[in-house]
Amino acid sequence: MLLTIDVGNTQTVIGVYDGGGLVHMWRIATNTGYTSDELRIKVRALFDADGIDASGVKGAILASVVPPMTHNWEKVICRSFGVDAVVVGVDNCRHLLGLGENEFSELGADRVADAVAAKNKFGCPVIVVDFGTATNIEVVDKDGVFRGGIIAPGVETSMRTLVTRAALLCSVELEDPGVSIGRNTSEAIQVGVAVGEAARIDGLVERIQEELGYPCRVVATGGLAHRIAPMSHTIDEISLELTLEGLHIIHEDLVHER
């Protein structure tokens, strides 16, 4: 079995692959206050709850955009499963994205995994929209080369900022109200935040395709993809496990390369 871990700013997604397929997936809160021992307890509880034998884990790969957590997770993986984690970064994945030396040196591990997975699963050209703490957009051109992307505040981040700064507004469910003109405060917020996010994505995707000069397949992933993507007219697919799939592909490539 292969253990895949994607440490995001808000949530950490853990997946177990067996026989090439994802057989278990969990989401836990990312908490920079947790020690490696506390994380070990959480991981052990997840495995025990689903009756998974931890001794079956023979490899692990880690993507983290939270530097204080990266080393802790490496310790957890080593002590809990007796394997060393492959830590994803742009430098060990350049060949998978057609990148030259020093190109996109600050590209986050989650963005790398998303682009690798989309390229392999959906072909090229492809655009990935990842709805997380930030809304990330990744662009892979028709030649399979990573061209860059966009980073914007995530939809939940925008919601929290709005209700924190405006005393008379409260948080609402991020869902389609079915209208474009809110008839009450809740609907007005839903149109502005949820429908507005879909409209923003559509506008950016259209600009990307115009700049490239050709249409692209558009794939949505991330915790809120299933809520926002149906309101978009440019998103073609939803793949909630895309980042983990990218980690699986990268691990297979790097281990085979060794």
pLDDT tens, the chain, 258 aa long: 999 999 999 899 999 999 889 999 999 999 999 999 999 999 999 999 999 999 999 999 999 999 999 999 999 999 999 999 999 999 999 999 999 988 999 999 999 999 999 999 999 999 999 998 899 999 999 999 999 999 999 988 888 888 887 866 777 888 899 999 999 989 999 999 999 999 999 999 999 999 999 999 999 999 899 999 999 999 999 999 999 999 999 999 998 655
Residue 174, CA atoms < 13 Å, CB-side half-sphere: 22
Neighbours of 63 (CB within 10 A): 29
Q: Give me the chain's average pLDDT, please.
A: 93
What pLDDT shows up at residue 162?
A: 86
> In Å, how far are 74, 198, 238 from 93, measured between CA atoms?
19, 30, 24
Q: Compute the distance between CA of residue 150 and CA of residue 227 in angstroms, rounded to an integer.
A: 20
pLDDT in tens, 172-231: 888 899 999 999 989 999 999 999 999 999 999 999 999 999 999 999 999 899 999 999
Residue 110 is among the residues annotated as catalytic for this protein: yes
Which strand (E) or helix (H) includes residue 71?
Answer: helix 67-81
pLDDT of residue 257: 56
Looking at 6, 110, 114, 130, which residue is catalytic? 110
Contact present, 11 and 31 (Cβ < 8 Å): no
- According to DSSP, the β-strands at 217-221 and 126-131 are parallel
What pLDDT was estimated at residue 168?
67
Length of the chain: 258
Residue with tokens 């935040």: 193
Residue type for position 187: E
Strands 21-29 and 59-64: unpaired
Nearest-angstrom CA–CA distance, 113 and 242: 8
